[in-house]
Amino acid sequence: MKTLMTTDPDEAATFIRGGGIVAFPTETVYGLGANVFDERAVAKIFEAKERPADNPLIAHVGEISQIEELSGGITDDARKLIGAFFPGPLTVVVKRSAKVPLIATAGLETIGIRMPWHELARKFLAACGTPVVAPSANISGRPSPTTWQAVFEDLDGRIDCILQGEATEIGLESTVVDCTGQVPVVLRSGAIGVEDIRQIVPQTEVFAGGETSVLASPGMRHKHYSPRAKVVIVRDASEAAEQGRSAFIGFEIRSAHFDKVEVCASGEEYAHRLFAFFRECDLNKIDVIFCQAVDEKGIGRALMDRLRRAAEA
């Protein structure tokens, strides 16, 4: 398949309306979208990404009013979080409407919904005229794409179109909150911290793992975010022992003996750069990537979550 490259959201949207699949930028990472109500188009996403069929997709809306056709009723807590954080990097999990095909939710009776604030994403969604389900636009297991070049690297020839925008601002995936139970539960951390969510719904819990995780957020048990290089979390650069070609990402400037170094001024910058750095290390045939640990505050919690998953692989 020939993959069309464009910067025009209207042109990209014609593929969605024709039953195709399109990668597009958001403020978190690039997504790979299809019309949520078109089962055959949704199936193409799973095929192109080599995504396990038991991992549900997030539906992206351009208008708050589109939530109605996706959900079969939302709780007060969900309504409050939507009011506070839409548009933005938050996904709320609610009951799905009967209109949503089960392939999109991987057989679940719930659906994740998110409204990006990214301008090009909003123009694209408006032109699609329908909610668009989209996982991150990478081959499953690889780091999520934060540039169109990363999407191209993984999916050129497998998808209809890439809507080219800038590198994504946040660089980590959205915060996912399950709002179908007694209290909201954060299933995946992201730029919107649990502290922020508790300002709106104080009883919000953070999912702690364990048995029910399989039911709660199927995607979290799959391998994620891994470069080909080995990832090792260190407290500082001096903890990094020489092991072949090595790289370092963190806050320290004294890190001269590495083959590749990324010094970040803040946790936000670290998050913004991480996945692209992983990919650059792979292109540079790096064997080991040393990642400096961060405080688990604000975006730091999401950053440590992604680092641990990458280090596990």
Residue of minimal Cβ distance to ligand TXA? 219
Of residues 35, 71, 91, 292, which one binds ligand TXA by CB under 6 A? 91
Q: Is residue 188 a contact residue for ligand TXA (CB under 6 A)?
A: yes
Residue list 45-74, contact with ligand TXA (CB under 6 A): 55-58
Residues paired with residue 110 on neighbouring β-strands, in sequence order: 95
Strands (E), the chain: 4-6, 22-24, 31-35, 58-60, 90-95, 110-114, 132-133, 161-163, 175-178, 185-188, 205-206, 230-234, 246-250, 260-263, 288-292
Report CA dihedral (32, 195, 262, 30) to the nearest 10 degrees.
Answer: 10
Q: Binding partner of residue 134 among Mg ion, ligand TXA, none, CB under 5 to 8 Å per kind?
A: ligand TXA
Residue 112 makes contact with ligand TXA by CB under 6 A: yes
Query: Token pair 């502290």 is at which residue?
Result: 195
Cα within 13 Å of Cα(231), Cβ side: 28
Asked whether 249 and 262 are in contact (CB, 8 A), the reply is: yes
177 contact, one of Mg ion, ligand TXA, none, CB 5-8 Å limit per kind: none
Question: Among residues 22, 92, 111, 303, which is the contact residue for ligand TXA, using CB under 6 A?
Answer: 111
Beta strands 4-6; 161-163: pairing state: parallel
Q: If binding is defined by CB under 6 A, does position 145 make contact with ligand TXA?
A: no
Q: For CA atoms 80, 82, 86, 92, give the dihedral sign.
A: positive
Q: Does 187 bind ligand TXA (CB under 6 A)?
A: yes
Dihedrals phi, psi of 117, to nearest 5 degrees = -95, -10
From the list ligand TXA, Mg ion, none, partner contacted by residue 87 (C-beta under 5 to 8 A by kind): none
* Residues paired with residue 133 on neighbouring β-strands, in sequence order: 34, 59
Does residue 13 belong to the site contacting ligand TXA (CB under 6 A)?
Answer: no
Among positions 35, 71, 110, 130, the unique one binding ligand TXA when judged by CB under 6 A: 110
DSSP state of 242: -
Indicate the residue among 221 and 230 with the shorter CB distance to ligand TXA.
221
Which residue is at the shortest CB distance from Mg ion?
136
Contact residue for ligand TXA among 38, 160, 173, 262 (CB under 6 A)? 173
Residue 31 binding ligand TXA, by CB under 6 A: yes
Q: Under rule CB under 6 A, which residues in 122-141 are in contact with ligand TXA?
A: 134-136
**Contacts to Mg ion by CB under 5 A:** 136
